[in-house]
Amino acid sequence: MSRNDRAAPEGDAAAREPADVLLVVDGGLRVTAWTGAAGRLWGYSADEVLRRPAAALLADGGPAPADVFTSGTWSGRLPIRRGDGRETAAGLRVSPLHGGDGGTGWLVWAPDPATRPGLDPAALDAFFGQGPVSLAVWDRDLCCTWFNDSVHNGKIFRSGPELGGYVTDLVDAQYPAFLESAMAEVLETGVPLLGHEFRPPGTAGRDDTYFWVSFVRLDGPDGLPLGLGSVAMKASGERESARFTLLSEAESRIGANLDPMATAQELAETAVPNLADYVTIDLADAIPLGKEPLEHLKSTDASIPSFYRAGVSSIHSDLRESLWRRGTPVFVPPESPFTAVLDSRTAHFEPVLDTSPGTWLDNDPDRARVIHATGMHSLMIVPLQARGSMLGIAVFVRTENPLPFSRADLVLAEDLAARASLSLDNALRYTRERTAALALQRDLLPQHLSGGGAVEVASRYLPSDTHGGVGGDWFDVIPMRDGRVALVVGDVVGHGINAAATMGRLRTVVRTLTKLRVPPAELLTRMDELAVELAQDHVTDADPMAPNVGATCLYMVYDPATRRCTLASAGHPPPAIISPDGSVDFAGVPPGTPIGVGLGTFESIELELAEGSVLALYSDGLIETRDSDIDRGLERLRTALTGPVTALEDLCASVIDSMVSDGPADDDTALLLARTLPPGPAGG
C-alpha cells in the first residue's frame, strides 16, 4: 500500500481527502490496518482504531456498515465521524480484498474513481491480487491483516488462509520459532530481512524448489511501527545468485572491527539460517583473547581442550545445540572430526551424520545426546586458515532444515571461511600486538606516584581503542633530594609496541637526568640529542633512512621552599594552573620543537604558584579529537577544571568523564594533577 502525504487545505473534509488506501476491515467488520491518510481524514491515531469496530468511524444518516461492507464493491459519499466529534462527508470506495464474495475483508479507498480515474481499485486489485509475487501484511502481533491471491499459487501458505490468523498458523514453515523471532526482530529494529531462503515442507532432496522471502517493517506517520509486509517469490534455479548474495553480505559485514570475538560472531550469524541452522566458530589460539593457554587446561582420556569458542549462532534463540558458551574452552575427543580438520587443514564433509554405534561419538556422550535431542543430521567442519596459520574451525550443522548439505554448500562454506579468515587473522594479529604493547606499557609506567612533601598528586591513564594500537604517552613524578619535585608528561609519536618501548627509554632518560639536577631546558636538549642517536642506531646499508624517534614532552621542577616552578616544553600542550580561587589559566611556556627533530631549541620560564594551586599536565589525547581542534579542546578543559578543588582523585574522574567521549578513543589519554603543599618538615 502506497501513501500520499500531500497537504490539503483546511475546511471541507472532501477537500482534504487522501489519494490512496485508507484502511482495511476484516470479516468481523473490525479495523485491521490504518494508514497515515486515514489518520488525516478521521483525526484518529492507529492505536485508537485498530481492532475496533469500523462502524464507529461512520456517522448516522448513511447506509448501515453491513450494507457498505457486504455488497461487493461500494462507492459513494459517506457521513463520517471524526476524532474531534465533528461529522462530515467523504467520497469513499469499498472493495473486497480478494474474491468476490466479500467474506474475507475489504479495502477502503478515497476518493471515488470518478474524480480520480488514475486510481482504479479494480486495476490495483488485479495487479496485487494476481501478480506472481505473494504479498501479505501482518500486524504487530504477527497476525495477518491482508494478503493477495498469489499466496495460493505457492507452497508457503497453508490452504485456506484467514485474516487475523497468527503467522505460524498460516505459513507452512520448517522452523516456525526462527520465523517468529526473525519477524519480531524486524518489527523491533526496523532492519529488513531480505532474501531469506525458504523451503516448504515436502521438498527435501529437491534443490530446485524454494522461495526468497523478505520482511519489511511498515511505519505510521508518527514513526511508530504498524506491522510488517512480507514478499515471497519463487526462486527456482538461482543457487548461484544466492551464493553471490551470501558472499556479498559476508564481505560487507565481517571484519568491520579488529575484535576477534566480534569477527567470529559475524561469520556465525552470516551463515544462519541461509546456509546452516547452527554454526560455531572455534579458535585454536587463546592468548589474544586473554584466556589461559589451552595446553594449561586439564585433559582426560576422553576429551582434550582444543579450542576456545569465539562465535555461535542458531535458528533457536536459546542456543540449545551448544554445549559451550562464547569465550569458554571447547573439549573434544582426541579422535574426532574436529581434531582431524585441525591437523589435516582440510574440511570434513558428512551430508548424513553417522550417529550409529562404533563412531567417534561413542567417546563423546554429551555431544551425542545433544545431536539426538536437536535432530542434527548434516555436518560440515571447515578449517579457518590465513597466511599459512591455522586459526581454528567453523562448524556448520543442519537440524530443522531437512535438506542434507550438498557439495555446493561445502564450496560456499569454504569460501565464507576463507574470506572471514583474513579478517580474523588481522584481528588476532592486532589483538596480540596490542596485548603485548599494553603489558609493556603497564610495566614501563610508574606504578606508585609520590610527590614527597612538595605536592599531592593524582593521575589517570586511558589507552586508545583505535586500530593503530597502544600509543606512547607517559607521565612521571620524581622527588629530588633537595626537596624539589619534577613533573613530566610526554607523548611518543606513533602506536604499537615500538612506541611503548621508545616511551620506556625516554622515561628512563628523564629520571636519570633529573637525579643529576639538569635544568628543564637543558634536559630537553639532551633528550633531543639522544632521540637522534637512537634513530641513527637503526640505519643499515639495506635501509639508509633513519626512522623518526619523535615525541613531545613537558618538564617542570617545583620548589616548595620558594613556591617557584621552572618549566620547558618540547612541542607539548601547556599545563593548566588552577588557582586557589578556582580560576584556570594556561602557562605561557614557549612551545619548542618536538624531541627527535635535532634542533634543541628549548626555553625555560619561571612561575610563582600560590599555596594550594593545582597543576594539570596532560597529553593531547585529552583535548584533541577528530571533531575538535586543540583550541576548542583547551577551552573544554578550562571549563572542566574551573571551580573549587577538593579531592584530586575526584577531580581526575570528573575531568575524564567530561572530556572523554563514550566511543572509541582516537589516542592515548594521560592526565596528571599536582597540588602544591605548604613548606614544612615533611618537605625537607
> What value does the mean pLDDT of the chain take?
79
> What does the angle CA 161 – CA 167 – CA 172 come to, to the nearest 5 degrees?
70
Which sign does the torsion angle of CA 227, 233, 239, 240 carry? negative
Q: What is the DSSP string of 133-186?
A: SEEEEEETTSBEEEE-GGGGTSSSBPSS--TT-BHHHHB--SSHHHHHHHHHHH
pLDDT beyond 70 at 666:
no
Q: What are phi and psi of 134, to 5 degrees?
A: -85, 120
Mean pLDDT of 193-207: 60
- The three-point CA angle 429-293-270 to 5° equals 55
Q: Is the pLDDT of residue 321 over 90?
A: yes
Q: Would you place residue 166 in the very low, low, confident or very high pLDDT band (cuts 50, 70, 90)?
A: confident
pLDDT of 407 above 80: yes
Confidence of residue 19 (pLDDT cuts 50, 70, 90): very low
Q: What are phi and psi of 191, to 5 degrees?
A: -85, 120
pLDDT at residue 314, as a whole number = 95
For residue 278, report the phi and psi dihedrals to the nearest 5 degrees.
Answer: -150, 130
Please report the beta strands in 189-303, taking only residues with DSSP state E, as ranges in sequence order. 193-198, 211-219, 225-234, 278-283
Q: Are 380 and 347 in contact (CB under 8 A)?
A: yes
- For the segment 77-96, what is each residue's pLDDT rounded down to a tens digit? 788 888 888 888 787 878 77
- Mean per-residue pLDDT, 498-521: 86
CA–centroid distance for 441 within its chain: 28
The average pLDDT across 338-344 equals 92
Q: Is the pLDDT of residue 291 over 80?
A: no
For residue 385, report the phi and psi dihedrals to the nearest 5 degrees: -145, 145
Higher pLDDT, 253 or 373: 373
Which letter, b or e, does each residue of 197-223 get, where b requires 16 or more Cβ atoms within 10 Å of its Cβ? bbbbeeeeeeeeebbbbbbebbebeee
On the question of pLDDT at 13 being above 50, the answer is no
Helix (H), strand (E) at residue 635 = helix 630-641
How many percent of the chain have pLDDT more than 70? Answer: 74
Peptide bond into 132 cis (omega under 30): no
* 404 pLDDT higher than 50: yes
Where do the domains of the chain lie, and which CATH numbers do they carry?
A: 13-198+212-219 (3.30.450.20), 239-435 (3.30.450.40), 445-683 (3.60.40.10)
What is the per-residue pLDDT across 25-44, written as a single tens digit (0 to 9) for each?
Answer: 877 888 888 877 788 888 89
| 3-state per-residue secondary structure call for 218-237 | EECCCCCEEEEEEEEEECCC
Which value, in Å, is the radius of gyration of the alpha carbons in the chain? 36
User: Looking at residue 589, what is its pLDDT?
Assistant: 94
CA distance 267 to 285: 17
* pLDDT, average across residues 134-140: 85
Residue 144 exposed, middle or buried by CB count within 10 Å (0-12, 13-18, 19+):
buried
